[in-house]
Amino acid sequence: MSHGLVKRLSLCLCTALLVSSCAKQNKQAFYNTGIIYCSESNPVTFNPQLDTSSTTSDASSHQLYDRLLDFDPGSGRIVPSLASSWLVSDDGLTYTFQLRKDVWFHTTRYFEPSRNFNADDVIFSIDRWRLRSHPYHYVSGGRYPYFESIGLAQNIASVERINGYRVEITLKRRDSSFLANLATDFAVVLSEEYANQLVQAGTPSKIDEFPIGTGPFKFDSYRKDHFIKYLRHNHYWRTQILKDDEVDSSAAQVSTKQRQEHAPLLVEQLIFDITPRSSLRLAKLMTGECDATAFPAQTELEVIRTKDDLILAEKPGLNIGFWAFNTQRPPFDNPDVRRALAAAIDKNTLLEAVYFDSATRAKTLLPAASWAFQNDADDTAYNPVLARKLLANAGVAPGFSMTIWAMPVERAYNPNATKMAELIQRYLRDVGVEATIVSYDWATFRRHLQEGLHDSVLIGWSADNGDPDNFYRPLLSCGAIPSGTNRAMWCNDDYDNLLNKAIQTDDIEERRAIYKQVNRLLYERLPLVPIAHAYRYQAYRNELEGMTINPFGGVRFGGVEKTL
């Protein structure tokens, strides 16, 4: 170490110690400039088209990108985003999107956009997952799990550019959940200009590692197992007021008019502190090293509730935990037997004992967050006397034995399936049914389920968007038996016809009416007993303002402010 350096260091040290005493004010202002979020794991990529895990979409979807459409977190309705308006043709096959002008892509050290967002970017983003012949299709693996699972690529006939700010998408078959699919976390809009530049540079896969989007934050740096750093996107279209020369002025100067228009004010930095251990995330939240954390464990909720400076936000999530009967095996092919077993259990006790009241009772497949939720739907009730009578009428002798398969993993929709199975076992004994609990490791469990070796199973489903079709179709339609999501192995033509009828129309009221019929049908036939919709939790410090739980996917920080 040179003499000069030593001098410089000691000088710095002295100033540091001197200044530190009067830095309190300064400190608060500085800490307000960044939000730290303790996330649970490393994202697989920074492009949510390529991965459906919530870690990936948390880290990318709402931070870096925008979609053509968005879900309104409150009502679940589809609202404009990059598309300012859209038209659907009368036959329901052609969708025309009018795109927003003056939307800027991120300027970073690895990319400088020369033009604003336009139709080319939309076409590029959709064609990338839609067309196998697209030069970018096989970059980074070539798998687009969300779009594959709903078969969207096969249903799109063409994506055409009408003019610079108008795009027309033509479908092969009517699909009223199409718009909802475009609003999911996975349907993000990438930059076509950036993609072209990368192709010329010979490094196309960088598009998913060094992302460019139009979202509220731009990517700065990522160290695996440590952190992801984002900086404010100064030209974010929702906060157009922050033009170049005003960027330096403090956030307080942004007019209140903008606030009224719900334009998000952005903090300068957003940091994801990757902390896999749940207890450590909670500890960091308590000491203020994190401002918000992902997935607090069920057992930690009480601790968070007792702290004054922590806020635990909860919202019913888009999920359903249920008890499905294998309707292809007698006597479970008899709806009366299924109804009898449903009447034998007390759902409220299950909610208390298994979910610790962190869930709402499910009457239908749909949680309250969905727009098609039916408040007055019929529900089964605890009635052992009726259960015994129904069983006797159906010819099921006392002492009949059956299996309950309990899934071996924890999920929000069922945090402890084994415990639930034990409770159900006891209820069934009261009505003269002997139940055995079966469990395998997760892979074997699912394989055997698909083969239909179970009598009944405790399992559930988490949906990707608020569209009711995302619940009804994969869970109980005939087509879902081979793909392995229809755990009741139930196939009913009336049911399938109703579902198809529902996505043939775009009139929300009409669809709602159809889903009411569906709910009624399910109540009568009862291929599965809906048990609970688990809450989604988010814990954060009370310094954060504007945090909302987004029931339709990942966390979003655009619009969150911090005041120490």
Partner 1 sequence: MIQILVRYCTLFVLTLLVLTIISFSLAYLFPGDTLENLTGLVPQNEIQRAALERQFKLEQSYIFQYIYYLGNLLTGDWGYSFTSGLPLREEVGIAMPATIELATYAMLMALFIGIPLGYYAGIRSYSTSDHLINSASITTYSFPVFWFALLLILIFSLELDLAPLSGRISLIYDIEPVTGFILFDVLLSDIENKSLAFKDALSHLALPTVAIGAITTAAMIRITRRSVIDVKHRPYIAAAVSRGLSSWQIFFRHILRNALLPILPLMAIQITTLITNAMIVETLFSWPGIGNWLIQAIYQRDYPALRIGMMAVSTVVITLTILVDLFNRLIDPSREKYERATV
Choose the stretch contacting partner 1; rule: CB under 8 A; options: 271-279, 376-384, 462-470, 503-511.
Answer: 271-279
- Between 50 and 366, name the residue whose CB sits nearer to partner 1: 50
Q: Read off the DSSP letter of residue 313.
A: E
Q: How far is the C-alpha of 2 from the C-alpha of 5, rounded, in Å?
A: 5
Q: Are 295 and 257 in contact (CB under 8 A)?
A: no
Given the structure tokens 């460019």, which residue do they identify?
Answer: 212
Choose the stretch contacting partner 1; rule: CB under 8 A; options: 25-33, 49-57, 355-363, 469-477.
Answer: 25-33
Pick one of 40, 120, 160, 273: the residue that binds partner 1 (CB under 8 A): 273
Pick one of 284, 454, 533, 556: the residue that binds partner 1 (CB under 8 A): 284
Residues 312-351 that bind partner 1 (CB under 8 A): none
Which residues does 404 contact at the CB level (< 8 Å), separation at least 6? Answer: 323, 421, 424, 425, 435, 436, 437, 438, 455, 456, 457, 458
**Amino acid of residue 459:** I
CB of residue 44 to partner 1, shortest distance in Å: 13
SS3 534: strand
- Between 30 and 442, name the residue whose CB sits nearer to partner 1: 30
Choose the stretch contacting partner 1; rule: CB under 8 A; options: 23-31, 242-250, 423-431, 538-546.
Answer: 23-31
Q: How far is the C-alpha of 554 from the C-alpha of 462, rounded, in Å?
A: 13
- Between 6 and 162, name the residue whose CB sits nearer to partner 1: 6
524: closest CA among 338, 317, 292? 338
CB of residue 231 to partner 1, shortest distance in Å: 10
Check binding of 245 to partner 1 (CB under 8 A).
no
- Between 23 and 381, name the residue whose CB sits nearer to partner 1: 23
- Between 229 and 501, name the residue whose CB sits nearer to partner 1: 229
Q: How far is the C-alpha of 229 from the C-alpha of 222, rounded, in Å?
A: 6
Angle formed by the axes of helices 335-344 and 384-393, to 10°?
A: 160
- Between 16 and 409, name the residue whose CB sits nearer to partner 1: 16
Check binding of 247 to partner 1 (CB under 8 A).
no
Check binding of 168 to partner 1 (CB under 8 A).
no
With vertex at residue 281, the alpha carbon angle to CA 277 and CA 285, rounded to the nearest 5 degrees, is: 170
Which residues does 146 contact at the CB level (< 8 Å), separation at least 6? Answer: 49, 52, 184, 186, 464
Residues 2-21 that bind partner 1 (CB under 8 A): 8-9, 12-13, 15-16, 19-20
Taking 3-state DSSP, the helix, strand and coil percentages for the chain, each rounded to the nearest 5, stand at: 35, 20, 40
Check binding of 286 to partner 1 (CB under 8 A).
yes
Check binding of 307 to partner 1 (CB under 8 A).
no
Pick one of 110, 227, 440, 523: the residue that binds partner 1 (CB under 8 A): 227
Q: Are 46 and 167 in contact (CB under 8 A)?
A: no
Pick one of 3, 4, 25, 26: the residue that binds partner 1 (CB under 8 A): 26
Size of site (CB under 8 A) for partner 1: 32
Q: How far is the C-alpha of 38 from the C-alpha of 101, rounded, in Å?
A: 35
Q: Would you give the binding string for partner 1 spanning residues 187-226, x where CB under 8 A is met?
A: -------------------------------------xxx
Check binding of 125 to partner 1 (CB under 8 A).
no
CB of residue 542 to partner 1, shortest distance in Å: 15
CA-CA-CA-CA torsion sign (300, 306, 307, 311): positive
Q: Read off the DSSP letter of residue 104.
A: P
Q: Are 58 and 39 in contact (CB under 8 A)?
A: yes
Check binding of 248 to partner 1 (CB under 8 A).
no
Choose the stretch contacting partner 1; rule: CB under 8 A; options: 281-289, 315-323, 463-471, 492-500.
Answer: 281-289
Choose the stretch contacting partner 1; rule: CB under 8 A; options: 105-113, 267-275, 356-364, 495-503.
Answer: 267-275
Note the residue count of the chain.
564
State the chain's maximal CA–CA distance in angstroms: 97
CB of residue 198 to partner 1, shortest distance in Å: 19
Pick one of 288, 330, 398, 452: the residue that binds partner 1 (CB under 8 A): 288
- Between 311 and 491, name the residue whose CB sits nearer to partner 1: 311
Which residues does 42 contact at the CB level (< 8 Å), separation at least 6? Answer: 55, 224, 225, 274
Q: How far is the C-alpha of 511 from the C-alpha of 433, rounded, in Å?
A: 40
Residues 36-75 that bind partner 1 (CB under 8 A): 36
- Between 33 and 444, name the residue whose CB sits nearer to partner 1: 33
Residues 105-124 that bind partner 1 (CB under 8 A): none
CB of residue 415 to partner 1, shortest distance in Å: 25
CA-CA-CA-CA torsion sign (232, 235, 241, 245): positive
Which residues contact partner 1 by CB under 8 A? 8-9, 12-13, 15-16, 19-20, 23, 26-27, 30-31, 33-34, 36, 224-227, 229, 269, 271, 273, 275, 280, 283-284, 286-289
